[in-house]
């Protein structure tokens, strides 16, 4: 199965999707902060959500709609306010967002999913939100994908979009996606916000299954700061306009090809979020190989990529592999300390659990790059796991010492 990236593609790329945006003034003036994504025909949808017990009102509403409804038309999303810890008022506001949007689409409110991102504990300014929904809904087109990706940003410095094309059942299938990340990023079901559109014809059950599989190896392997947000949401909507034979068997080749592509789309967004982690100067990829199980490999990779001491060492270009070992040691992963090899890039720095007299100049060459790969070989099996993150810098502290105000 081959897929190809579509240059300048995004959430509006697949057939039959339209996008509207608005500058509602939720937190900032003159900045896009509301996006409205609609399929022109009925579609199926799937979602994965935060495991944080304080999950936000839009998460509760989207979960309910996914549970109760079989057909969907789109997403309505705002940045600038998370609508989390907002009580019953917050819940009815999230519902209201779907109701207002549904009027413009001409569907029932249950056919729309909703997501919010921003400061926790503030109520949504509903007058501005409703105006924004009306503005976004009154001028929808398929060339506003880039604006939608901008509208969902908070402290992100760049927007994150991807679109790919594959062939399934001799039909061209398109997937478009966008995400926002930056801080409070340690997904434990999904990232802060991620959205995928596709024109594939697929059952709701198969779509949900493909999304869970994709999420497990992408957003769930990402950390910026270890803080699992109240609003993590990853949604996908599939309208079938590609005209392929309906995918409803999860053992079919078509399903596997679609699921693999969806995973690649999610991994691409995950890496974009890691690159743009709050204050990040470096992208960090930790690969744990030859593990006795996939669970151990993932647990170990996540622990290392999340260690503040590993992250500051990467920022400081310090080949301090002892911190990698330390984070592996407290990860809870099963391994044998005396078998562990550690590589910075291609450079072996520790072997069988103890340090080597490696060439510091070669290590510096690895650490000077914008992308650093650490490989941990457990020498105990055939499984592997990869996690993504970024360094911990002065700017992370600066951004987060000032974020709310």
The helix (run of H) or strand (run of E) holding residue 300 is: helix 294-306
Cβ pair 144, 138 in contact under 8 A: no
Residue 121 φ/ψ region, left for φ over 0, alpha for ψ in the -120 to 50 degree band, beta for the rest: left
Residue 226 vs 345, nearer CB to a copy of itself: 226
Q: How far is CA 52 from CA 49, 153, 185, 187, 231, in A?
A: 9, 21, 12, 9, 8
Residue 196 vs 392, nearer CB to a copy of itself: 392
Residue 60 vs 69, nearer CB to a copy of itself: 60
Residue 50 vs 268, nearer CB to a copy of itself: 50
* Number of neighbours of residue 8 by Cβ within 10 angstroms: 10
| Nearest approach, Cβ of residue 269 and a copy of itself (Å) | 21
Owner of token pair 């996690």: 387
Q: How far apart are CA 162 and CA 275, in angstroms?
A: 15
| Nearest approach, Cβ of residue 112 and a copy of itself (Å) | 25
The helix (run of H) or strand (run of E) holding residue 29 is: none
* Number of neighbours of residue 185 by Cβ within 10 angstroms: 27
Residues that bind a copy of itself (CB under 8 A): 51-55, 82, 84-87, 90, 119-122, 183-184, 186, 188, 225-230, 306-309, 312-313, 315-316, 318-323, 325-330, 335, 337-338, 350, 352-355, 392-394, 396-398, 400-405
Return the half-sphere exposure (C-beta side, CA atoms, 13 A cut-off) of residue 28. Answer: 17
Running DSSP on this structure, what letter comes out for residue 157?
S
* Catalytic member of 86, 117, 191, 386: 191
| Nearest approach, Cβ of residue 230 and a copy of itself (Å) | 5
| Nearest approach, Cβ of residue 354 and a copy of itself (Å) | 4
End-to-end CA distance of the chain, in Å? Answer: 49
| Nearest approach, Cβ of residue 396 and a copy of itself (Å) | 7
Q: How far is CA 304 from CA 268, 312, 372, 390, in A?
A: 21, 12, 13, 11
Residue 96 vs 186, nearer CB to a copy of itself: 186
The helix (run of H) or strand (run of E) holding residue 44 is: strand 34-49
Residue 186 vs 263, nearer CB to a copy of itself: 186
Cα torsion at 99, 100, 101, 103 (round to 10°)? 90
| Nearest approach, Cβ of residue 281 and a copy of itself (Å) | 11
375 catalytically annotated: no
| Nearest approach, Cβ of residue 130 and a copy of itself (Å) | 22
The helix (run of H) or strand (run of E) holding residue 275 is: helix 253-275
Residue 94 vs 178, nearer CB to a copy of itself: 94
Cβ pair 387, 302 in contact under 8 A: yes
Q: Which residues are catalytic?
A: 191
């Amino acid at each position: 199965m081959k897929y190809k990236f579509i240059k300048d593609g995004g959430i509006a790329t697949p057939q039959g999707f339209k996008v509207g945006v608005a500058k509602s003034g939720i937190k900032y003036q003159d900045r896009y902060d509301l996006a409205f994504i609609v399929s022109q025909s009925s579609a199926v949808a799937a979602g994965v959500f935060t495991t944080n017990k304080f999950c936000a009102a839009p998460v509760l509403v989207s979960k309910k709609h996914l549970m109760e409804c079989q057909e969907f038309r789109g997403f309505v999303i705002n940045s600038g306010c998370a609508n989390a810890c907002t009580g019953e008022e917050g819940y009815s506001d999230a519902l209201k967002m779907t109701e207002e949007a549904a009027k413009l689409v001409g569907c029932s409110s249950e056919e729309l999913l909703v997501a919010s991102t921003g400061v926790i504990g503030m109520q949504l300014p509903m007058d501005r939100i409703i105006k924004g929904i009306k503005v976004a809904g009154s001028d929808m087109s398929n060339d506003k994908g880039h604006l939608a990706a901008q509208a969902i940003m908070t402290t992100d410095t760049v927007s994150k979009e991807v679109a790919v094309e594959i062939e399934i059942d001799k039909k061209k299938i398109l997937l478009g996606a966008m995400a926002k990340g930056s801080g409070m990023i340690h997904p434990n079901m999904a990232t802060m916000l991620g959205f995928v559109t596709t024109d594939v014809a697929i059952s709701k059950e198969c779509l949900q299954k493909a999304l869970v599989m994709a999420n497990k190896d992408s957003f769930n392997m990402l950390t910026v700061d270890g803080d699992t947000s109240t609003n993590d949401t990853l949604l996908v909507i599939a309208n079938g306009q590609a005209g392929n034979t309906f995918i409803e068997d999860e053992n079919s080749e078509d399903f596997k090809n679609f699921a693999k592509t969806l995973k690649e789309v999610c991994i691409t967004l995950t890496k974009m979020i890691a690159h743009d982690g709050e204050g990040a100067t470096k992208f960090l990829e930790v690969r744990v190989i030859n593990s006795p199980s996939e669970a151990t490999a993932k647990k170990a990779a996540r622990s290392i990529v999340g260690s503040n001491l590993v992250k500051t060492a990467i920022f400081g270009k310090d080949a301090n592999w002892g911190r990698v070992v330390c984070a592996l040691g407290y990860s809870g992963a099963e391994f044998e300390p005396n078998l562990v090899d550690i590589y910075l890039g291609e450079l072996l720095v520790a072997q069988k659990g103890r340090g080597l007299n490696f060439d510091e100049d070669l290590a510096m060459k690895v650490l000077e790059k914008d992308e650093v790969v650490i490989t941990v070989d457990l020498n105990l099996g055939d499984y592997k796991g990869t996690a993504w993150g970024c360094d911990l810098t002065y700017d992370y502290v600066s951004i987060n010492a000032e974020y709310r105000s």
